[in-house]
């Protein structure tokens, strides 16, 4: 069950409260001979994704149409018949734009039913990947809106994506999310609803997909996993509309990473395989190396050493082919040393502590942005403790904690907590001091 952002957006547009909608629905029901007694709590459930029974969806349309002085359909309020096909694929894309922008609006308004929604699993999680991978394709993405989209607008979106990505790396997803979502609402949404040719529209959908992916990353970093997943699914649909398979594979890599965090290891393997298979010759070495490395981690957690080691070899081989300047902007996160730290984690899960230590040390010795360095130092600390090097581990943990200061990120706090637990279990004086330093860092509110 996912939050109904379309109903949320249209209620906001109509200027009607939850209690007001319930009262109007009850009144409209009486005119049809129905004895309805809905209250604001029922509307809250509808916004969380519960479908009203019987004639109530039609009554909601009736109430909102009278309020807005225009027709309102079930699709407009997010209550269309599940599985009913759109009139055409183009109409489907237009409807997607309305659903996507409604989500952005609800996110900017910090609707609690949206921010607290859990990530979906099973078929709802898999379907967006399957739809990206399979026909039909978008034959024509042109649109005849009022505002004419120009090449300068596309450049602005690309520059914004790069800006927010750098902000995320330095300040964290919690601090960055409101800014990128605000930009999506004020600048990007009017462009998607504007006028553009098929060729320019594909560039627009690609640039928007890159921005939406950043919004998803920031939501993931803020512990809003259901919201992050919805942004990733949006970015995947935008990638399909753009016709850029590499962008789609990048978005799936983000879904793979989230699957690993949620311990959905088989899903992580399947998603990575889908990206590698569908992008095919279009995939870049940087992205291939990251996908193989994440697959290796998933296989290691599943206890499949043979598959994990095979993926490690493929990840290392792909990493050797990376050529800076020949990669899309989105794969800039695959910096030297990233594969090393991913491989170190896989090897540690397999119990090969010595080899894991070599990879972790190599990762730390390679320059990285602030966030990446924290993760690398965390992994090295854990391995040094497993190797019995408590003093070295304590020193590495202190460096990690200093590096994490000022970054508003739930994922980095997770890493700090995990390292603290390992340090406390060690029980030495040096590790206790390092654990106290981490405690002080964790007491700083986000």
Asked whether the predicted pLDDT for residue 84 surpasses 50, the reply is no
Nearest-angstrom CA–CA distance, 300 and 124: 26
Average pLDDT, the chain: 93
| Residue whose entry in the numeric block shows the structure tokens 């894309």 | 93
- Residue range of the domain that includes 405: 369-446
DSSP per-residue string spanning 329-346: GGGGG--TTHHHHHHHHH
Do 76 and 153 reside in the same domain of the chain? Answer: no
pLDDT of residue 82: 54
Asked whether the beta carbons of 419 and 383 are under 8 A apart, the reply is: no
pTM for this entry: 0.86
pLDDT per residue as tens digits for the range 152-165: 999 999 999 999 99
pLDDT digits (tens, 9 = 90+) for 50-64: 999 889 999 999 999
> For the chain, what is the radius of gyration of the CA atoms?
24
Q: H/E element holding 144?
A: strand 143-144
| 262-273: average pLDDT | 97
| Whether residue 10 is found in the same domain as residue 113 | no
CA 199 – CA 205 distance, rounded (Å) = 10
Instruction: Indicate the number of domains in the chain.
Output: 3
Task: With cut-offs at 50, 70 and 90, classify the pLDDT of residue 309.
Answer: very high
Instruction: Quote the Cα angle for 299-221-116, to 5°.
Output: 100
pLDDT surpasses 80 at 41: yes
Q: pLDDT-derived band of residue 81, with 50, 70 and 90 as boundaries?
A: low
Write the DSSP assignment of 150-166 as a string of letters.
Answer: -HHHHHHHHHHHHHHHH
- Compute φ and ψ for 109, nearest 5 degrees: -85, 0
Q: Are residues 72 and 137 in the same domain?
A: no
Nearest to 308 by CA among 347, 360, 341: 347
Share of the chain above pLDDT 70, in %: 97
Asked whether residue 326 is domain-assigned, the answer is no
Judge if 80 and 103 occupy the same domain.
Answer: no
Residue 109 lies in a domain: yes
352, 386 in Cβ contact below 8 A? no
β-bridge mates for residue 195, sequence order: 144, 148
Residues β-bridged to residue 143: 196
Q: Cβ-count burial of 326 within 10 angstroms (0-12 exposed, 13-18 middle, 19+ buried)? A: exposed
Whether 86 shows a pLDDT value over 80: the answer reads no
Phi, psi angle pair for 400, to nearest 5°: -60, -45
Residue 260 domain flag: no
Q: Is residue 103 included in any domain, yes or no?
A: yes
Q: Are residues 45 and 181 in the same domain?
A: no
- 325 vs 216, which has greater pLDDT? 216
Do residue 54 and residue 126 come from a single domain? no
Residue 89 has pLDDT above 80, yes or no: no
Mean local confidence (pLDDT), 11-37: 90
The reply to whether 180 and 227 lie within a common domain is: yes
Q: Are residues 61 and 168 in the same domain?
A: no
Q: Report the sign of the C-alpha dihedral through residues 182, 187, 189, 192, in that order.
A: negative
Distance CA 341, CA 293 (A): 9
Average pLDDT over residues 199-212: 98
Say what percent of the chain tops pLDDT 90: 79
For residue 205, the SS3 value is helix
Whether residue 393 lies inside any domain: the answer is yes
Residues 195 and 108 in one domain: yes
- Tokens 């637990």 correspond to what residue? 421
Q: Is residue 19 part of a domain?
A: yes
| pLDDT at residue 174 is higher than 90 | yes
End position of a domain, from candidates 243, 259, 284: 243
Residue 290 lies in a domain: no
Tens digits of per-residue pLDDT, 378-424?
A: 999 999 999 999 999 999 999 999 999 999 999 999 999 999 999 99
| pLDDT for residue 429 | 87
Q: Contact at 8 Å (CB) between 241 and 138?
A: yes
Q: Which two tokens stand for residue 256?
A: 């793979």
Mean pLDDT of the 274-302 span: 96
14 and 120 co-located in one domain: no
User: Is residue 150 predicted with pLDDT exceeding 90?
Assistant: yes
Kindly indicate the confidence band of residue 116, based on its pLDDT and cuts at 50, 70 and 90: confident
Q: Is residue 41 domain-shared with residue 107, that is, in the same domain?
A: no
Residue 1 has pLDDT above 50, yes or no: yes
Mean pLDDT is lowest, of 42-56, 81-95, 203-217, 362-376, for 81-95
Q: Indicate the angle between helix axes 123-133 and 265-279, nearest 10 degrees.
A: 10
- Which of 243, 268, 291 terminates a domain? The answer is 243
Q: DSSP label at 280?
A: G
Statement to judge: residues 76 and 173 lie in one domain: no
Picking from 183, 217, 243, the residue at the C-terminal end of a domain is 243
The answer to which of 224-233, 304-313, 363-372 has the lowest mean pLDDT is 363-372
Least confident of 68-72, 255-259, 357-361, 432-436: 68-72
Burial string for 213-245 (b: 16+ CB within 10 Å, else e) reads: bbbbbbbbbbbbbbbbbbbbbbbbbbbbbbebb
Is the four-CA dihedral 16, 21, 25, 26 of positive or negative sign? Answer: negative
> For residue 213, what is the DSSP state?
H
Q: What is the pLDDT of residue 177?
A: 96
Give the pLDDT mean for 128-146.
94
Residue 109 corresponds to which tokens in the numbers above?
């308004």
Q: With a cut of 60, say whether residue 87 has pLDDT above it.
A: no
**CA distance linking residue 208 with residue 217, whole number of Å:** 14
pLDDT at site 115: 83
pLDDT at res. 5 = 87
State the DSSP H helix or E strand holding residue 87, giving kind and residue range, or none if neither: none
Least confident piece of the model among 81-95, 211-225, 288-302, 325-339: 81-95
281 within some domain = no
Summarize the confidence of residues 170-177 as an average pLDDT.
95
Specify the pLDDT at position 75: 85
**Do 59 and 29 contact (CB within 8 A), yes or no?**
yes
Mean pLDDT along residues 33-50:
91
């Amino acid at each position: 069950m996912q939050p109904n952002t379309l109903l949320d957006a249209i209620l906001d547009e109509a200027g009607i409260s939850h209690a007001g909608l319930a009262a109007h629905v009850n009144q409209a029901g009486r005119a049809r001979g129905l004895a309805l007694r809905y209250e604001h709590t029922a509307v809250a459930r509808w916004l969380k994704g519960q479908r009203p029974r019987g004639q109530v969806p039609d009554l909601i349309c009736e109430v909102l149409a009278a309020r807005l002085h225009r027709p309102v359909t079930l699709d407009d309020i997010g209550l269309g018949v599940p599985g009913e096909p759109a009139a055409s694929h183009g109409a489907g894309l237009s409807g997607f734009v309305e659903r996507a922008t409604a989500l952005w609006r609800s996110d900017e308004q910090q609707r609690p039913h949206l921010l607290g929604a859990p990530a979906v699993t099973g078929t709802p999680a898999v379907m967006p990947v399957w739809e990206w991978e399979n026909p039909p394709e978008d034959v024509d993405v042109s649109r005849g809106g009022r505002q004419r989209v120009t090449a300068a607008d596309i450049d602005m979106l690309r520059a914004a994506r790069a800006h927010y990505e750098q902000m995320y790396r330095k300040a964290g997803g919690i601090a960055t999310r409101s800014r990128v979502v605000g930009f999506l609402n004020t600048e990007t949404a009017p462009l998607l609803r504007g006028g553009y040719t098929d060729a320019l529209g594909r560039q627009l959908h690609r640039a928007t997909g890159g921005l939406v992916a950043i919004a998803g990353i920031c939501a993931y970093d803020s512990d809003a996993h259901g919201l992050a997943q919805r942004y990733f699914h949006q970015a995947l649909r935008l990638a399909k509309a753009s016709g850029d398979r590499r962008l789609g594979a990048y978005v799936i890599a983000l879904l793979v990473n989230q699957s690993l965090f949620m311990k959905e290891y088989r899903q992580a393997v399947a998603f990575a395989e889908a990206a590698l298979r569908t992008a095919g010759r279009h995939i870049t070495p940087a992205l291939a190396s990251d996908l193989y490395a994440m697959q290796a981690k998933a296989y290691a957690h599943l206890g499949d050493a043979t598959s994990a080691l095979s993926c490690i070899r493929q990840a290392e081989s792909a990493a050797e082919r990376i050529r800076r300047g020949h990669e899309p902007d989105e794969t800039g996160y695959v910096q030297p040393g990233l594969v090393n730290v991913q491989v170190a984690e896989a090897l540690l899960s397999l119990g090969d502590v010595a080899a894991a230590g070599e990879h972790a040390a190599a990762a730390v010795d390679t320059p990285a942005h602030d966030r990446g360095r924290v993760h690398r130092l965390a992994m090295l600390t854990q391995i040094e403790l497993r190797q019995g090097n408590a003093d070295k581990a304590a020193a590495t943990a202190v460096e990690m904690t200093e590096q994490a200061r000022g970054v508003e990120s739930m994922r980095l706090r997770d890493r700090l907590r995990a390292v603290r637990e390992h340090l406390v279990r060690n029980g030495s004086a040096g590790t206790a001091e390092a654990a106290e330093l981490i405690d002080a860092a964790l007491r700083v509110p986000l």
